[in-house]
Copies of this chain bind each other. A is one copy, B any other.
Amino acid sequence: MTKIVDRPEDFAATALAGFCAAHADRVIPVPHGALRAYAGAPGKVALVVGGGSGHYPAFLGYVGPGLADGAVAGDVFASPSTSAVAGVARAADLGGGVILGFGNYAGDVLNFGAAAERLRAEGIDARILAVTDDVASAPATDAARRRGVAGDLLVFKIAGAAAEAGLDLDAVMDLAGRANARTVSFGLAFDGCTLPGQAAPLFTVPEGQVALGLGIHGEPGIAEQAILPAADLARMLLEPLLAERPQGHDGRVAVVLNGLGRTKYEELFVLWHHLTGLMTDAGLTVIDPEVGEFVTSLDMEGCSLSILWLDDALADLWCAPADAPAFRKGTVAAQGARQVAREGAAIAAVPRGEPASAAQAGCVADIVARLAQALAEAEAELGRIDAIAGDGDHGQGMARGSAAAAAAARDAAAQGAGAGTVLSLAGDAWADRAGGTSGALWGVALRAWGQALGDTDVPDAARVAAGARAGIDAVTRLGGARPGDKTLVDAFAPFVDTLQGQVAQGAALADAWDAAARAATAAADATADLTPRLGRARPLAERSIGHPDAGAISLALCARIVAGALAR
Q: Which residues of A contact B (CB under 8 A)?
A: 1-6, 11-12, 14-19, 21-23, 25, 53-54, 56-57, 61, 76, 190, 210, 227, 229-231, 233, 257, 261-274, 276, 288-291, 293, 296, 298-299, 301, 303, 328, 331-332, 334
> Is B21 in contact with A273, judged by CB distance below 8 angstroms?
yes
Q: Which residue of B12, B23, B261, B270 contacts A6 across the interface (Cβ within 8 Å)?
A: B270
Residue of B nearest to A22 (CB): B291
Q: Inside 8 A of A262's CB, which chain B residues have their CB?
A: 261-262, 299
Give Cα distance in the complex from A18 to B231, angstroms.
12
Listed by A's residue number, 14 A-B pairs whose Cβ atoms lie within 8 Å are A1-B301, A3-B267, A4-B267, A4-B270, A14-B269, A15-B266, A18-B268, A18-B270, A21-B272, A21-B273, A53-B266, A261-B264, A262-B299, A263-B299
Q: What's the nearest-Cβ distance from chain B to residue A38, in Å?
A: 13
> Is B276 in contact with A21, judged by CB distance below 8 angstroms?
yes
Q: Which 5 A-B pairs have the closest CB atoms?
A: A18-B269, A18-B273, A4-B267, A22-B291, A18-B272
Give Cα distance in the complex from A28 to B371, angstroms.
68
> Is B22 in contact with A269, judged by CB distance below 8 angstroms?
yes
Residue of B nearest to A233 (CB): B4
Chain A interface SS verdict (over half)? mixed
Q: Inside 8 A of A288's CB, which chain B residues have their CB?
A: 25
Given contacts A4-B263, A233-B4, contact A16 B57 (CB under 8 A): no
Give Cα distance in the complex from A289 to B230, angstroms.
36
Q: Inside 8 A of A21's CB, which chain B residues have their CB?
A: 272-273, 276
> Is A270 in contact with B3, judged by CB distance below 8 angstroms?
no
Q: What's the nearest-Cβ distance from chain B to residue A56, in Å?
A: 4
Q: Inside 8 A of A263's CB, which chain B residues have their CB?
A: 3-4, 299
Q: What's the nearest-Cβ distance from chain B to residue A42, in Å?
A: 24
Max count, chain B CB within 10 A of own CB: residue among A61, A262, A274? A262
Q: Inside 8 A of A303's CB, which chain B residues have their CB?
A: 4
Give Cα distance in the complex from A303 to B18, angstroms.
15
Q: Inside 8 A of A331's CB, which chain B residues have their CB?
A: 331-332, 334
Q: Inside 8 A of A61's CB, which chain B residues have their CB?
A: 265
Max count, chain B CB within 10 A of own CB: residue among A6, A14, A57, A264? A264
Max count, chain B CB within 10 A of own CB: residue among A15, A229, A257, A266? A266
